[in-house]
Structures are given as C-alpha cells and as structure tokens.
Chains A and B, each alone.
Chain A
Amino acid sequence: METGTYISGLGHVAVVGWAILGGAMSSDSQPPEFQVTDISVVSEAAFAALISDAPLIATNINQPSSPDVSEAAPDAPKAGELPQLSSFAQPEAPQAAGTSPDLASVKDSPRASAQTDAPQLAEQPTTDVQGATLIVPTAPLANRDRNGLKQPDQLAMIAPEPPAPRVDVTPAPKPPTDAEKAQEAEKATTPDPEASKPAEKADEKAPDQAATEIITEAKEQEKTAAPVRSSRPKGRPAKLAENSSAATGIEQAIAKDQAQTGNGAGATTPVRASVPSGPPLSQNEREGLRLAVRDCWNVNPTSDAARITVTIAVTMDRSGKPSGPVQFLSATEGSQAAKDSAFEAARRAVLRCGRTGFDLPAEKYDQWRDIEMTFNPEKMRRK
C-alpha cells in the first residue's frame, strides 16, 4: 500500500463532507457585480454636436510629443481641402496636394531602406553585390535628415523585424514575454510534406537581378531572418537583363528621363494604341514581371479573400511604374467585402513592387503599357 493515501483519505472525508454539508450552502454567497455597458455608434450630426459641445483646444497646442510633426505641418494643404468624415472616400484634392512629396518618396523611400540593407547584402554571398551598389545613393539620406528622421530610428525599425510570417516576436509591445512567445512559437507545428524540398533549385533558376530589385520590408525580412527565402528568385534571369540593358541602355535612360521630367502628363495618360506594335515580351520578361509582383502580393491564406481570383488593369508609364489608378476588372464568386479585400491586396502588390518601376524592356513599351493582371490565390489558400 502506498503512503500518503491514509492522510488524504481522511482529508477526503472532510472535503466531501464539507462539500455536501457546507459547500452546498454557498449559493447565497455574493459574487461581484458585473455590468455590461453599451457603446453607441452615433451619427455624424450627433457626433459633431458632441464634439462642439466639448471645449476644444486648438490642435496645434495639442501637438503630440513627436517632434516630426512640426516638420510635416508646413506641407499640409489648407483646411478647405479636407475630406469630410461622412463622405469618407478620400477625394482627389489631398492627393493632388501631396503630389510632389509623394513623387519624392517613390524615388527615395526604397533607396532609403536599401541604405541600411547594404551591409546585410554584403554578408549574403548569394546576393548580387551589384544590387547593393545600384540601389544605394547618398541623396536620400540627406533627404531623410531634413525630415528629422534619425538614423538610429531607421535602424531600430529595420533591425528587429521578425522573421515572416510570425507575429509573436514583433519587437513592439511586451518585451518580457517575447522570449516566452518565441519559445512557444517553437512548439507550433504544421506537418508539411514539402518541408524537405531544397530551395536551391529556385536560386539556380533565377539569380538575383539588380535592376528589378525593390527593397521592401518584406525582403528585409527575407535577408535578415530567413535564409531560405533570401534565395528565392527575384526579377529576371541575369543573362537576359544584361542583354537587354546592353542593347537598350540609352533608350531606357531616355525613357526614364522623359517619365520623370516634362513628359509626366503624357506618361500618365498615354494614347492607347489598339494594337501594340513591336515584338511581344519574351517568356523570361513576362516571368520577371510576374515574380516582381508576386513578391508584394501578400495573401492571407485562411481568408475568404483567398478564395477569390481577381483581375485588375494597370497602365504603366515608360519607366515601368504604374501610372494612374489601378482598376478593378473582375472577380470570382464571393462576398463584396472579400472581393474588395482581394482587389486591394492585388492593388498593393502592383503599387508597392512597382513604385521604382518594373524592369521591362523599354523598346517594347507598347506591349506592356496596358497590363491585365490576374491574381489567382488557389495555390496559396488554406481553407
């Protein structure tokens, strides 16, 4: 017979007896009060009334602690151009007003992030060093300093990026629990029969190509945290790119120059030719574009939106950047909300990865000025 048994047995008599005789009487013990309070959603008018009701202090006195705010303020358009809350869709006015800073950002921001990326690129033996040198100008840094962004901040932003796609280890909210989360994360499992497939093949297939490389945060993650991902194909095969740049380098330069200077209006509203002239894009060129867009197409694999194939239309300027709005063409079955979400994800893919211009052969501009892209998430989907 084992040991503590007898003591515990006595205890059980006590406990059960108490439960039957005394514990059952506990019904009248008062649990703490619990209340559910409603939050009301109010109309625009009522809301305005509420707000005006309150003693408002001018917003410039209420400046939040961020010192950047005062830097940004002078750029802000006048109050007359502000969108009304009720008609929420952002009208064209603010966009127009913001055109010049936005243009600057299209050029500068990716480069700026490439700046901090350079050392990491150098550490990656498989990464094309040319990519780093091409993408790292010094001007953007100066530009950023003007904006009051301190370099440490920039580093702080990029350095702790978590390995995609996990959220647990995001640097932000609760440092003490991160280690624990990471530990727990280790425990999450998903059986995957394809896990053992090597990634090297993809690497051989399509080496990195500098000109199409757009340094997004997503790629930051790949490079800093996920070796397997960093070897994924990006852009066009190098050979092809070399050929194309050798043959058409001057043309390209001219085209880009046109796009960036006086011919901007012409580039954004190109005259549509019903039948594109010139030779069609090669398979490699098409796939280069496809791969470039794919890198920015973020799919939420369990969502309803991941059940929807959406087709969009985009017009490109001669520098390979999307010009004008990305247009919705069609979507397969689904709720309107899911269609919207699917469309917006596709739009982000094109706009993000296209912001420095897709690497497309300038001499074939007529072939790729108007592009219809179909985003089919079938292979990404997970219920």
Chain B
Amino acid sequence: MTPLVKLLTVKLVAAVFMTVTAVPALAQTTGPLKIEITEGVIEPMPFAAPAFVAQNSNARQLAEDLAAVVAADLIGSGIFREIPRAAHISGISNFDAPVQFSDWKAINAQALVTGAVTLRSNGQIAVKFRLFDVFAQAALGEGLQFVGTKEDWRRMAHKVADAVYSRLTGETGYFDSRVVFVAETGPKNARRKRLAIMDYDGANVRNLTDDASIVLAPRFSPDGNKVLYTSYETGMPRVFVLNLNTMRRRALDDLPGMTFAPRFSPDGKTVVMSLSEGGNTDIYTVNVASGKRSRMTSSPSIETAPSYSPDGRQIVFESDRAGSQQLYIMSANGGEARRISFGKGRYGTPVWSPRGDLVAFTKINKGRFHIGVMRVDGSEERLLTASFLDEGPTWSPNGRMLMFFRETRGANGAPSIYSVDTSGRSLKKVAIQGFGSDPSWSALLK
C-alpha cells in the first residue's frame, strides 16, 4: 500500500461519507425509483487477455506473444489490470465460438479480449480480435483485423491494444507509437550520447546517430518523419534536423551563437528554439523551409524550453525574468507573456499537452525534482513524481501519459526513462537496455 493509494482512498471514503449525509432522499411516489450515484471507486479495471487462437500450428508462439503485449499495453496505462492467465477457468480455443461469459465473470474479468492469428507462408501475419463486456455479455464495438509482416507483430498487438483502450475509455490510445531518446553509455563524467528510437514500450531500440559528439533532447516532428535535436558536432550546441526516411541531417539554420531546446510547431513548418548569444538566451522561431527567423523574446533574462500549444497560437516557455525559473505563456507571435507558475520552487521544461488542457513541467523544490502538470491558467498544479532528479516530460499522443527521465544520485548515477499517467497512479520504468534520457513521444503511427 503506497502513500498515494492511501491518500486517494481516504479522500474517497471521506467524500462518500459526506455525500451520503448531505443528499436527502426525496419522497418517491410515482414512476421508477430514481437514484443518483455521485461516488464510485478509482481502480484499474480487471480484464482478461487469454492467448490468441493460433489458426495454424506455427503461429502458436505468436498467439501467446500477441496477447501478452496487448495485456502489457493495457496494464501500463494504469487504467486496467490483468487477471493472470493462471486464474483463467478456460481459454479461447475457437475465435468464433460464443464466449462462455460465466467463466470470465467467475474470475471477475470485466473485459475480455480475444484474438486469432494466422501465419501465412509468405511471412505475413493476419491478426483479428474482439472485445467483450463480460457482465453485459456483449461485444463492444467492432472487431478489427490487421495484416502485416511478421516483424511487425508487436505493432499489430499495439494496434489491438489501442482499439481496446479506445473502446473502453472512449479516447484514442497511444500504444502504436515510438519514442526518440538519448541512449547513454560510459561513466558520468565522460558520458557518450547518441540518438536512438524505440517502440513506446522500449522494444525495438535502434540507434539513429553515432556517439562521436554530444547530442541532446531530440523532438519528433508532428508527422513523425523528422527529429530535431541539439548536437555538439561543430563544437558548440546547435540545432539539427534529422530526416528519418533518408537519415540525412543538417543544421537547421546558420545563426551565430548557440542554439538548443527546439520544438516543431503543430503544422511542422516552424521550429521554436533558444538562441544564446552574448550570454543571453532568448526564444526565436525559424521557418523550416526558408530558414527565416523571428525573435520572440528580448530580455536580459534566460528564456528557453519553448513549446507550442496544439493550435499553434501560443507558446509556453520558461524564464527567470522574475528572479527564478518560472513558466510563462505568450502569443506565438511574441509579445507580452503571462506567468502561470506560482508555487514554491523553480519550474522548467514546460510541454503543452496535445489535448490542450494541461502543461507538464519539471519542478525543482528543496533539492527534489518532480514531474507535474497544471492547467494552462496555472491552476490545479499536481505533482506526479518525486526523486533526486526527474526531468523532461513528454506527452503521449492522447495526452493521458507522460514519459520523462529519472537520474539516480551519486557517482554511479545514471538516467532511465519512466512513464506515468496524469493522475500519478501508474509510474513505470520503460524497459530498455542501458541508460536513456530526453524522451520525445511521437504521434500515433498511421
């Protein structure tokens, strides 16, 4: 039992108590009995994902693995909980046979995911699935089917999980997505860094650059085809853009000074970033095609870590103009900025949620680092994590999860990538080999 669970639980109980006493029952004389439920429970919904049905014998392993990846995806969201297969009363041996709902009710699986996979002789696989509401004894939505190469089997599982997530939550999923990040090796004082890309769950890690020079903070383009990042390959920090299709890279512009902290605008046509010149760091925008630049801020203070709102009209950034690192929002055309962070401590690395409603940030207070979210007007600040060093949040495509990196303390300290949902319920380390930092989450893949 973690402290957080206790908090939630106690709050729930207290709220329920108040509700029960506060709401008087109205006299019921005619018509149906009317009841209003104003409190429920907050807990992961139990589901079952039995092994998919292997439509031919050499698909058997695949059938196991597909269901396992689907389950892992759903669990990782914090919204769902798997009923372990060991507890299942029966499996699914025939995809088209009616489901024995009683077997699934008995183990309190509220949702059931069934699937079937066919491995064809040409190496392609075909996957289909259905989702059931066990207690309503009904299918939910339409089943889907996918065809792809065997190498893409994980993506197909992610697509199934996205469909399940979407049907059960009413929101789009985020599982079929990728993350670019910085893969780190070597000791703390001689760290070598290279860009790498992985599936959102840490599978299929592939390097994008060598580690000859320091690379920092890659950022996906909205279409997922390009990555902005900061590289020291010229001896000083400079923003580069890497085309993932051609694997060619180029300096974004030829500004004098040092450039870093780039991010694309939602339409992908503009990059907003920091330029440091003469010791002063300000925010600029650069047109990707023409290289034309505009200065967004001009003050002697530090202005950095800009991030566009999803409609492209505003930019949230950090500045120490008031004496310490705080968050501000300004028009995408520059001009006056309004401060949105007012809590104790310092705030940095703001990132606007793709839903538009929240800004995620790094907070430093009393020597501790937190990942948190607040509403765009600065209200309802909520800290989701705490550690020696948590930094650099990036939003899932649906704006429900965050990834960030956590660096451990001390001479052997090293960074790892974590994910957490916006209620702070499901903190999870993303399983990758080696050290990872500076994650940037892609949009959902097509």
The answer to A–B direct touch (Cβ < 8 A) is: yes
Contacting residues, chain B, for A162 (C-beta < 8 A):
81
Chain B 62-85 near chain A by CB (<8 Å), digits 1 or 0: 010000100110011111111110
Q: Give residues of chain A (51-96) contacting chain B, Cβ–Cβ below 8 Å.
A: 51, 53-57, 59-64, 66, 68-69, 71-73, 75-77, 79, 81-83, 85-86, 88-90, 93-95
Q: Is the CB of B4 within 8 A of A383?
A: no
Chain B CB within 8 A of A256 CB = no
> A32–B195 Cα gap in the complex (Å)?
11
A40-B148, A190-B382, A286-B35 known; A298 vs B43 contact (CB < 8 Å): yes
A47-B128, A299-B40 known; A109 vs B32 contact (CB < 8 Å): no
Q: Is the CB of A72 within 8 A of B136?
A: no
A27 closest partner in B (C-beta): B233
Q: Is the CB of B118 within 8 A of A20?
A: no
Contacting residues, chain B, for A32 (C-beta < 8 A):
206-208
Chain B CB within 8 A of A177 CB = yes
B19 closest partner in A (C-beta): A379
B172 closest partner in A (C-beta): A337
Chain B CB within 8 A of A113 CB = yes
B46 closest partner in A (C-beta): A217
Q: Give residues of chain B (284-314) contacting chain A, Cβ–Cβ below 8 Å.
A: none
> A340–B14 Cα gap in the complex (Å)?
29
A316 closest partner in B (C-beta): B33
Candidates B4, B86, B445; contact of A190 at CB < 8 Å: B4
Q: Is the CB of B235 within 8 A of A23?
A: yes
B8 closest partner in A (C-beta): A165
B420 closest partner in A (C-beta): A188
A53-B120, A90-B137 known; A380 vs B39 contact (CB < 8 Å): yes
Chain A min CB distance to B189 (Å): 9
Contacting residues, chain B, for A31 (C-beta < 8 A):
207-210, 247
Q: Is the CB of A156 within 8 A of B87?
A: yes
Which interface class (under 10, 10 to 19, 20 to 34, 35 or more) fits B? 35 or more
Chain A CB within 8 A of B203 CB = no
Contacting residues, chain A, for B170 (C-beta < 8 A):
303-305, 335, 337-342
Q: Is the CB of A202 within 8 A of B13?
A: yes
Q: Give residues of chain B (310-349) contacting chain A, Cβ–Cβ below 8 Å.
A: none
Chain B 21-52 near chain A by CB (<8 Å), digits 1 or 0: 10011011111111111111111111000110
Chain A min CB distance to B414 (Å): 14
Q: Give residues of chain A (82-126) contacting chain B, Cβ–Cβ below 8 Å.
A: 82-83, 85-86, 88-90, 93-95, 97-98, 101-102, 104-106, 108-109, 112-113
Contacting residues, chain A, for B16 (C-beta < 8 A):
202, 232-233, 291, 294
Chain A CB within 8 A of B418 CB = yes
Q: Is the CB of A344 within 8 A of B133?
A: yes
Q: Is the CB of A202 within 8 A of B102?
A: no
> A143–B116 Cα gap in the complex (Å)?
30
Q: Is the CB of B76 within 8 A of A167?
A: yes
Chain A min CB distance to B209 (Å): 5
Q: Could you list 19 A-B pairs, sorted by A, with CB under 8 Å?
A: A41-B144, A54-B126, A68-B91, A76-B97, A98-B102, A98-B137, A105-B105, A109-B107, A109-B108, A160-B84, A221-B43, A290-B20, A293-B37, A297-B37, A298-B40, A303-B400, A337-B170, A341-B169, A382-B423
Q: What 4 new A-B contacts, CB under 8 Å, besides A19-B235, A62-B93?
A: A39-B156, A167-B81, A302-B422, A341-B168
Of all A-B residue pairs in the complex, the 4 with the closest CB atoms, nearest first, are A157-B87, A94-B98, A105-B102, A341-B170
